[in-house]
Amino acid sequence: MREDRGLLVVVSGPSGAGKGTVCRHLLEIRPELISSVSVTTRLPRPGEREGVHYFFRTPEEYERMREAGEFLESASVYGSGYATPRRFVYDHLRAGRDVLLEIDIQGALQVKERVEQGVFIFILPPSMKELRDRITGRGTESEDVIIRRFAKAYEELNFVSRYNYVVVNDIARDAARRIEAILIAEHCRVDRNRELNRKLLEEVFPHDVSTYQ
């Protein structure tokens, strides 16, 4: 990915870490950030719009797209396919826009294999007790399901070393501000500003810029 492109920001974390809430606050803080729209095979729910909430496709269309390499990542969740469309993401990045992917850990690792220069951020709960409280606080699942979710979340913590940054979600808006700081720092990295450096050097040394790099 060239330095004149936007940032691909991938946010994920274990179930109950609150990444969805953090990302909603981040989009409020940085409204210019593009939230990636996923492709899914499930039917639209009331109020959901094509191209806004999801790109709705039949299972046959979804499989054709997957085989054609049109997805950055894909997964099956409760019998439905979900995937990140490569073209949607890359078109925005080429236009210089930052793109936010809020996806699970499995999907994030798939993206990392394809986009090495993405910014990968792992959301952590402030404590395991808080994580369990958040999972049980939903009040919609049986004890067996809660135990399985907690066990899976505990296993997923092992993947934190595969990410570039870790952000603790103690207060969601504060966590979103920390991610904003990460994005500001990433845009200031030297390797993302080589063209600017070159232009400045050309003004001073118009005959041989390479000597001074």
pLDDT, tens digit (0-9, with 9 covering 90-100), for 79-118:
899 999 999 999 999 999 999 999 989 999 999 999 878 9
The domains of the chain, with CATH numbers, are 1-33+99-213 (3.40.50.300), 36-97 (3.30.63.10)
Q: What confidence score (pLDDT) does residue 2 get?
A: 45
Query: For residue 39, how far is the Cα from the chain centroid?
Result: 15
Lowest mean pLDDT among 25-29, 30-34, 49-53, 190-194: 190-194
Contact 205, 197 (CB under 8 A): no
The burial class, CB within 10 Å (0-12 / 13-18 / 19+), for 117 is: middle
Reported as a pLDDT band with limits 50, 70 and 90, residue 212 is: very low
- Return the minimum-mean-pLDDT range out of 43-47, 129-133, 161-165, 185-189: 129-133
CA distance 138 to 132: 10
Tens digits of per-residue pLDDT, 112-166? 999 878 999 999 999 988 888 887 876 666 788 788 888 888 889 999 999 999 9
SS3 category, 137: coil
Cα 98–chain centre separation: 11
Contact assessment for residue 151 and residue 158, using Cβ atoms and an 8 Å cutoff = no
Q: What pLDDT digit, counting tens, does each position of 23-40 carry? A: 999 999 999 999 999 999
Statement: residue 60 has pLDDT above 90? yes
pTM: 0.83
Separation in Å, CA 42 to CA 11, 86, 91, 177:
23, 19, 25, 33
Question: What average pLDDT does the segment 187-211 reach?
Answer: 71
Instruction: Return d(Cα 105, Cα 112) in angstroms, integer.
Output: 10
Average pLDDT in the chain: 88
Q: Residue 78: what pLDDT?
A: 75
